């Protein structure tokens, strides 16, 4: 029989994949600045970093634009966009 344990929601990080990557650094960066750069480590996946930035902005009700500094995709430049969070769902445009 499994054992169930009560936890504080702040102690639990739920995410995609086995790494269960926290969005906390992304949230802090967006809240602390109008623009910035994210330098990736060797084991960071560019697509994951870009997705986590976008999801963190959405959690804050904001929208960010981002692009890679160069073709190596080791530095992601970002800035807040005017307006609210980007539209999602069937009517959303993909870029």
Could you give the C-alpha distances from 37 to 50, 58, 74, 90, in angstroms and in order? 11, 18, 10, 30
Asked whether 86 and 66 are in contact (CB, 8 A), the reply is no
Q: Which two tokens stand for residue 81?
A: 């966009």
Q: How confident is the model at residue 82 (pLDDT cuts 50, 70, 90)?
A: confident
| pTM, two decimal places | 0.69
Render pLDDT for 20-73 as a digit per residue (tens, 0 to 9): 567 889 999 999 999 999 999 999 999 999 999 999 999 999 999 999 999 999
Within a 10 A sphere around the Cβ of 30, how many other Cβ atoms?
A: 21
**C-alpha span between 11 and 76 (Å, rounded):** 29
Select from 1.10.150, 3.90.1070, 2.20.25, 2.40.50 the CATH code of 21-80.
3.90.1070
Query: In the chain, where are the structural domains located?
Result: 21-80
């Amino acid at each position: 029989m499994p054992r169930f344990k009560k936890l504080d929601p702040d102690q639990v990080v739920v995410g995609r994949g086995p790494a269960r990557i926290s969005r906390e650094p992304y949230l802090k960066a967006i809240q602390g600045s109008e623009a910035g750069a994210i330098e990736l480590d060797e084991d960071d996946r560019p697509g994951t970093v870009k997705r986590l930035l976008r999801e963190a902005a959405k959690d804050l009700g904001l929208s960010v634009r981002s692009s890679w500094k160069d073709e190596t995709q080791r530095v992601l430049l970002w800035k807040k966009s005017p307006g609210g969070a980007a539209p999602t769902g069937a009517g959303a445009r993909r870029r």
